Chains A and B, each alone.
Chain A
């Protein structure tokens, strides 16, 4: 007999993990199912990491409303969860005089939607904030911020787990069978039962719905490519800078975003593709990203690229469609006890907790939800060596031999931080899992110095055979075995 849960959440992105965590506020058993070997491996881990203010979406839309709500609470949640957050504000800049009306439209749209701290800035005001940006004026948004979307998602999952949720990785749902009023969810030979299913499968939301008998959705993947610049460029920009959005391009336009870790991102492009897994980059797009970036900030010309990546937006409207694809959060019209989320692209990260609360409200229409007395929203974060002042560094090193060794030179990550990352509550042991939790391998040498040390730690201290070490997912082997 398979294990049974009150609610199963399908999808370990920011939204699925937020839902799992919010569901844990109530007396019920919760399981989160993720097809990859870690959370945040899809869209949630491949975006700009911007916490949006909410002025980009039509007033009255679910996306606009939940974005404004999410933005207002984001800093607090990051504090609770021990996730980096920086209140940077944001500039939408008019590069040509004819862009100016668009700024006013955005301002009006934002004010109508209740977005705080919006102002039109003169070129001089803009230059005072960002000296490298040559604009004909800008829209300043004071409530916009940045976070690390992967750590945010990981923190939500860990906090959900600490509050009783079961997080099951490598569980790619391939069948959702009805069983009475509930479901049996299967992944290969494995199966578990749930009274309710929340479909937060992102790019695969239509497929998961269809597995449960609901064919009402279709997802159109839209790829966005990014470049990550070396930290040496950090001084050139402190605010996310966007061009005026152009209608019909499927995104907010190629923008520049400082990250909480001190890099600058260029991107994303917007290109509808057939694959839901092709997160590869292309030479043509990367060339264009550079052109667009230099239009915004010419001083970037000398900057070096550390790496490139791409993410896929899960759109509910196809290429060329003029209508706005709002967030969809609803009871399935075909299958009882199934709640579907679809089209959660930007600003889904910002709106993740409001979305989760909305799911809880929908669920409460179907069954009574009773608050748990012992829900704990806080999550402890390991101490960072790199951001600690000298006195604290000295104390850390004095107290702990593992804090006396730097494993990652570029990002100044100690062995202690590597071990903390390796001992993560979700049990992720991949090199990428360590990377996203510790920042090892993310610097300018891209693991040239530290990755061998991570592999050695896995083998020598955790007993993982070389052939079982993974970069990321199950098939992402790194070694064939020992040298003969």
Chain B
């Protein structure tokens, strides 16, 4: 049994595996499959100040080793998340969760963060400045370093919990984005969000997704995520939670070798509801086989190259 425990700002996790926001609802849906207390933490469904229904259907399309989604930040709003969703989760999960915050203006992020960061179950906030599926909703903050820094600074000023910023891969220079949010006071970085993509119907020529474009995720984007985590972790000194296409314990370990201090599992939860517990078990088995006693011994192991 290798030691899998990792400590990150606001999070003392029994293992580094976290279901990613938007693929795990508010957690309780998965309690009918397994004991979710096995998880290091969990990233809640993106939450906005007001309730949002999201985009028209279809919201989902498939691609090679992955899927395209354009949900559009459907959520019941911050007050319902705090008073209803988290109360449903409370009896099922004892560790701290990461609340994911979306918005379309700095004031929205600030107000949502102010409220969520007071919740006793919330260990940290994750700022979604990279949702590609909402018009005027987040992505402009995620592609412009000055705006990313501005929203980070504003949220940091009001948050009672550590703040992680979720970066978009849809930029020319992700290191520039990472340095901007670090400079603005971010306690950590989570990356990567989805890659913007499309699929079309052959007969009609119409995009399959009603929103036309969607965010691509799944094993297809794994090497892109590895590259970006490798680059960012060499440039910043705050911890990075790596995600993007992780589907196995092997993938999770590779992501940590690339430099991530913990990992998030997204899409794979949708294909296999047991993905996270399987990945935790596989990580343990692989580390045992490799003769590694502590997960920290592999974090950033690629840095020498």
Whether both chains belong to one complex is answered with no
Chain B residues engaging chain A, CB cutoff 8 angstroms? none
